[in-house]
Every structure is written in C-alpha cells, then in structure tokens.
Structure 1
Amino acid sequence: MSEQRTGRCMCGAVRFTATDVPSKGGICHCEMCRRWTGSALIGITVPTGSITWQGEAPSVIQSSDWAERGFCGKCGSGLFFRVTLQGDWFGNTELPVGVFDDPNGFEITNEIYIDHKPDSYAYAGMDGRRLLTRQECVEKFGVLDGGGPED
C-alpha cells in the first residue's frame, strides 16, 4: 500500500511531499550509511519523481562513484540517498524514516550489509526479515561494489 507523506529537515528549511510512499522499508548497515546517519540508515524507497521539495533545495554530495546523498545546507540533516548509476536501484530515492513528519506505520522487511552491523545494537522483531550480507548485496545489485571507503 502506498500513500502520500510529508517531511522535513531538523530546522524546517527543506520540506518535501512524497506520493507513492510504500509502507515497507529497510535498513542499511554499510559504513557509509553508518557514518552519514550516525547509526544505520532506516529508510523507505520511493520513486524519485514522486518527491516534491519545498523551501530550500537540498544540498547534494556525490558520496561514491554510483550514488549521492542529500542534506539540508543549514542544519545538516540527512534527507536522502539516491543511486545515480543506471541499474536496479536507479530512479528511486531512499528517504530516512526520521525525516517524515509522521514516521509511524512503516514495517521494516529487510536489512542489507548485515555482516557490517555493529554488535552494539540490534532490532526487535527480526523473525521473517530478509537479511543480506555485503557480498549478497554486491551479487544482487552489482553497483554496490566499489566507490566506497570499504573497498
């Protein structure tokens, strides 16, 4: 099920409305996501074209050879992760759950780079959740290999 949701950065300078927001999302434990978020990226994948930005435009950094990350130029809040290389993930934007005005109602159904998850935290309700290692992600999506500090 998809719906429309709104969100913003911490200071409110950058806001968005997203349509076609699914109810299911995932977690990424790769080193880049951990450094960007300070933990893990818990995100919801939405079609890039379904996001309308209001207020200030997000600042964008090319974070690897194949992806970019958006953030607020005023408060620094992480706003999105987006694959820029053509392939399976191109055309979608990963929005962190924490930037939605109402972060409730999402179900986390998968985790990637699970073999890079620090042992200092765990998520409840892991039964039935799909868990992928870094190597499994590389094999599945191809573009995830190279361009990052772990390689």
Structure 2
Amino acid sequence: MKGHCLCGRIAIGCIDHTDVSVCHCSMCRRWGGGPFFSIESKAIEIEGEKDIAHYRSSQWAERGFCQHCGTHLYYRLQTGGFYAVSAGLFQDAANLRLHSQIFIDKKPDYYALANKTPTMTEAQVMEMFKNWDGS
C-alpha cells in the first residue's frame, strides 16, 4: 500500500494490511480532533522524509506530520521500529476493516463506533508496553 499527505510531498508505503486500529486516548484526540485510525507496521518506506516534522509526545514515542500541509502521518515508538500509520493516507486501500480499539476507557461519550472489536483499557495498554523492547 502507498499513501501520501495532502500536499503530496510525503509518501508512505507499507506492506498491505487489512487491519485498522483505533486509539481513543486524549492525546490522539487532541492531535487529530477525534480518535486516531491507524495501520500498524514495523516496515515502512518513506519518500520525502526531509519534509517530516516530529513531535516527541512521550518518553517512548513521537508523532510525525508533514511540515508543509500538517497531515498526520504516524505515531512511532523510539525503539523497535513500531509505526501506527494514519489509515487516512491510504485512500485507495481495499478491504480495510476495523480490527481493535485501545484506550477504550478514555473514549468520550459524544461518539461511538458501531463495529464490535476487541478493546483494551489504558491500564492494559501500559502493561503491554511496559517492557517493550521492539522484538
């Protein structure tokens, strides 16, 4: 799959995935105005990397965005090569399906997704990444 930012300066390619994950944490909602829909990958290719700006949003991760048009590109961990790439970049992707939701206990009451998916709370996510080494 290959997607690009609004202005086209940055293109991101990753292996075809069908699973879309959703994060309801307050930081993702503040960053994008709603939940963050992403495709998780450990192997991506980036064209136009010089046009990406990063914001270190925690001790373990940063968020990448196009410094020209502001498109949200990805959330990535500092170690291990994990990327959560914005699903919206892949406009022509077929067969995508909502696979999971995290920080479900932080989702505000003003929206609800109809899809029934596995969910994880903030505590469960933090426990999962507590000893993350990237392998």
What band does the TM-score fall into relative to the shorter chain? 0.7 to 0.9
1:95 has 2:85 as partner: yes
Residue 113 of structure 1 is matched in structure 2 by: 103
Report % sequence identity: 33
Q: CA deviation at 1:56?
A: 4.8
- Name the CA distance, whole Å, in 1 between partners of 2:124 and 2:41: 22
Cα shift readout 1:78-107 (whole Å, capped 9, x = no counterpart): 10100114xxxx312111111113244211
Equivalent pair of 2:24/2:102 in contact (CA under 8 Å): yes
Q: Which residue of 1 aligns with 2:70?
A: 76
Answer yes or no: is 1:44 the counterpart of 2:39. yes
Identify the residue that residue 16 of structure 1 maps to in structure 2.
12
32-41 vs 100-109, which moves further: 100-109
Question: In the aligned structure 2, how far is the partner of 1:109 from the partner of 1:7?
Answer: 20
Instruction: Report Cα offsets for 1:58-97 as digits up to 9, x if no partner.
Output: 1112111110110000111110100114xxxx31211111
Report if aligned partners of 2:10, 2:46 keep a CA contact under 8 Å in 1: no
2:25 maps to 30
Match of 1:147 in 2: none
RMSD (Å), alpha carbons: 1.9
Please name the residue that 1:60 is paired with: 54
Shift of 1:53: 1.9
TM-score, normalised by the number of residues in structure 1:
0.79
* Distance in 2, Cα, partners of 1:38 & 1:143: 30
What is the CA deviation profile of residues 114-133 of structure 1, one whole-angstrom value per residue up to 9, with x for unaligned ones? 0000111111221xx11111
The amino acid of 1:32's aligned partner reads: M
Q: Does 1:139 align with 2:127?
A: yes
Separation (CA, whole Å) in 1 of partners of 2:49 and 2:127: 39
Instruction: State the SS of the aligned residue for 2:59.
Output: coil
- Gaps in structure 1 of 5+ consecutive residues: 145-151
